[in-house]
Amino acid sequence: MIDQASPADAGAEARDVRLAAVVLAAGKGARMQSRHPKVLHRVAGRAILWHVLAALREAGIPAERTAIVVGVGEPAAAVRAAVEAWFGAGRYRFAQQAAPLGTAHAVLVAQEAVPAGTGTILVAYGDTPLLQAATISRLLAHHRSSGAVLTLAAGYLGDPSGYGRLVRDGQGELRAIVEERDATAEQRAIREVNSGFCVFDAAWLWQHLPRVPVAPNGERYLTALAGMAVEAGDRVATLVLDDVIEALGVNTRAALAEAEAILRRRIATQLMEAGVTLQDPATTYIDAGIVVGPDTIILANTHLAGQTIVGSECELGPNTIVRDSVIGDRCRVLASVLDGAKLEAEVTVGPFAHLRPGTWCGRASHVGTGSEIKASSLGPGSRMGHFGYLGDAMVGASVNLGAGMVTCNFDGERKHPTRIDDGAFIGSGTMLVAPVHVGAGALTGAGAVVTRDVEPEAKVVGVPARPIGRRSRPAAAGVAGREERGDPPR
């Protein structure tokens, strides 16, 4: 018996504690022409398999109730290592398919990894990065309401080449799912395809899997279970998706690019609905999982990647790349690269600046044209002029770093620290030869080469720099209240 539904029949998220998932991720992906496992290729900054597991978790199926079927050798080890890096070691269950004997065999080898007492099993494929949690929930809800032993997600394609066809009789009843390689010319003309994404009654599945016949190519197809259920008079349900593409696998580099474009459009739409302005979504590249606050403006050709968080009322771009960075509220980043940096509120950067891992910029600080910072802190209100370099440095509040100043932190063997205290004035072209400490309110003349510590409020000039007296004004304010300003620890 057949029961059909459209996405309009959507139900609530999965809540069944007896529910488990099996994710098939053992495929070699030969058509990708790659040395790497297909499921580890990236879409929107994340591996294909990551997207699948994230959708399952969002739909209510936790890692502890998800079994991932992998192959053997280095590809399998790479998949295991990646999953543990994303979600933590020991959370997901793994099963190994020693030989590629088909999808039915892959699910069968996962039986021992499925938690005891499972009543419903959802089978997903590790190469479907477009699969959404809402679709998972709809399929599960329809399966529960239909009372079927098997529920399939299906849909229509203009070009169904490469996919299994749903063969129905004159009354619209499903008779079988036929793989393209086994289909007749008449069957290949059918546009309704099977996505492979499906749900089973667990007891029925384990009873019938060993009986799946061997196909001419030596494999056992999971799709054969639909015909077996029909012949036995068991109920089979289908959920017809408006866009079946989301449940279909990525098998080629071209399909990978198409999935990338679809996911980027989804992400852009979600951000705009949340109050973010995208000047040109088509040239904005934002990874999955990126957080952006409302009223932020992202200009053309801007990339947000990795574990990045952006606050509210910022302006990023154009031509800006931000990776694994945290940007506070009301910051401006123009045509610059941030990689592993943290900006407090109201920081301005660029154009053409490069903030490397370990960079911290305090509130209302500024990094100017062509400047670079690495493993350093720039205190609140401090300003770094154009074409400067800070490496392994700690800069206090309200410090002026003149154009072309450089911390000479590497002696050819080791890196050394530089410390510049609050209110100091570093003249243009100053070379600070680390390790060195410039005291609060001190001043260095243009072109000075500082090889020794500078006393607070002292003036030093020359090569090597030497003291010539005291500054004529007191050190800039800002020493007190460091904790309240959120300064880094000294």
What residue spans of 88-183 are helical by DSSP H?
103-109, 133-146
CA dist., res. 353 & res. 349, Å (int) = 7
Give bridge partners of residue 442 from the DSSP assignment.
Answer: none
Burial of 14 (0-12, 13-18, 19+ CB in 10 A): buried
The answer to whether 94 and 160 are in contact (CB under 8 A) is no
What residue spans of 29-168 are helical by DSSP H?
48-58, 73-87, 103-109, 133-146
Give bridge partners of residue 96 from the DSSP assignment.
Answer: 70
**Beta strands 174-178 and 165-168: pairing type?**
antiparallel
- The secondary structure of the chain in percent helix, strand, coil, rounded to multiples of 5, reads 25, 30, 45
Residue numbers annotated as active site: 386
The answer to whether 336 and 368 are in contact (CB under 8 A) is no
The answer to whether 354 and 325 are in contact (CB under 8 A) is no
What Cα–Cα distance (Å) separates residue 158 from each residue in 238, 243, 488? Answer: 19, 11, 58
- Distance between first and last Cα of the chain: 72
CA dist., res. 399 & res. 126, Å (int) = 52
